[in-house]
Amino acid sequence: MDEADAKIVKKAFETLEFETLELKIRGFETRGYETAIILPNAVKALAINKTYAVNNIIHHQDEIFQHIGFIQSGRAFALTVDIDGNETWVSEFTAGQFMGCHSLFDPRPSPYQIIAKTTLRCLLFNTQNFLSLMNEYEALNNMVVADLARQVDNLTRAQINTYRLSMRGQIISELARIARPVGKDPNTFIIRPRPIFSELAQRLGTSRETVSRTVSSLVKKDVLVRTTGALIIPNYKALTHQIV
């Protein structure tokens, strides 16, 4: 990261203008911000704009999806809830991703619910009409296929890691997965916003304390650097070498 990029990073940390930062820093792979603009305008015109407050239920467990959602901003979690009220993390949805697309090919009731973890803005499409839109607009079809492939890949990797890695290794693997390159140095990465330990623990089926101890050990080894609202990874290879 050169001096110019470092100044941009410092200013963004101080002002929390990270959506702008992600578009300014050279070589930075954005995490879905402003991706709604790539939807064909004719497709967006057929959607319902919907905003969900924090902890609002977007989709109820054991119900059939009536709408396909495209997230414009915010985050949502998919969770299963058992008869005793215990929650199990299934997946995360962020800006630029779809919710409910699997129901296009499997119309059975969903075994999970989707809850907004932040204020969430999305476009809702009628499920019955969405396949027709995909057939009509190649760009939309490609976006859905890519998003489903991403979800399958994430679930496959998580399943493999459960059997292959220690819990410490799983935590570090997840940190590596959510990190994004920043600046000109291809080996410098960032995790922003800073991960919430309780959420990361729920995602991996462990305790908040275990996540906290793992992150603290990486900070002591200078593999991670804590800064306002983010974690900096000065050497991404050094982080991945900790995955065992």
| Same structural domain, 93 and 198 | no
Q: What is the pLDDT, as a whole number, of residue 3? A: 55
pLDDT(11) > 80: no
- Which domain covers residue 116, as residue numbers? 35-162
CB distance 181 to 189 below 8 Å: yes
Side-by-side strand order, sheet with 57-59: 57-59, 113-116, 75-81, 87-94
| Same structural domain, 24 and 46 | no
Choosing from 94, 129, 162, the residue where a domain stops is 162
- Where residue 8 sits, what CATH number does that domain have? 1.10.10.10
Q: How far apart are CA 77 and CA 53, in angstroms?
A: 13
| Same structural domain, 59 and 148 | yes
Choosing from 102, 136, 162, the residue where a domain stops is 162
CB distance 241 to 25 below 8 Å: no
| Same structural domain, 148 and 188 | no
Tell me, what amino acid is at 232?
A: I
Place of tokens 């089926």: 205
The pTM of the full predicted model, rounded to 2 decimals, is 0.74
| Same structural domain, 141 and 189 | no
Q: What is the pLDDT, as a whole number, of residue 40? A: 82
| Same structural domain, 18 and 72 | no
pLDDT(8) > 80: no
| Same structural domain, 157 and 210 | no
Q: What is the pLDDT, as a whole number, of residue 35? A: 39
pLDDT(38) > 90: no
- Where residue 55 sits, what CATH number does that domain have? 2.60.120.10
Q: How far apart are CA 63 and CA 127, in angstroms?
A: 13
Number of domains the chain contains: 2
| Same structural domain, 135 and 73 | yes
pLDDT(105) > 50: yes
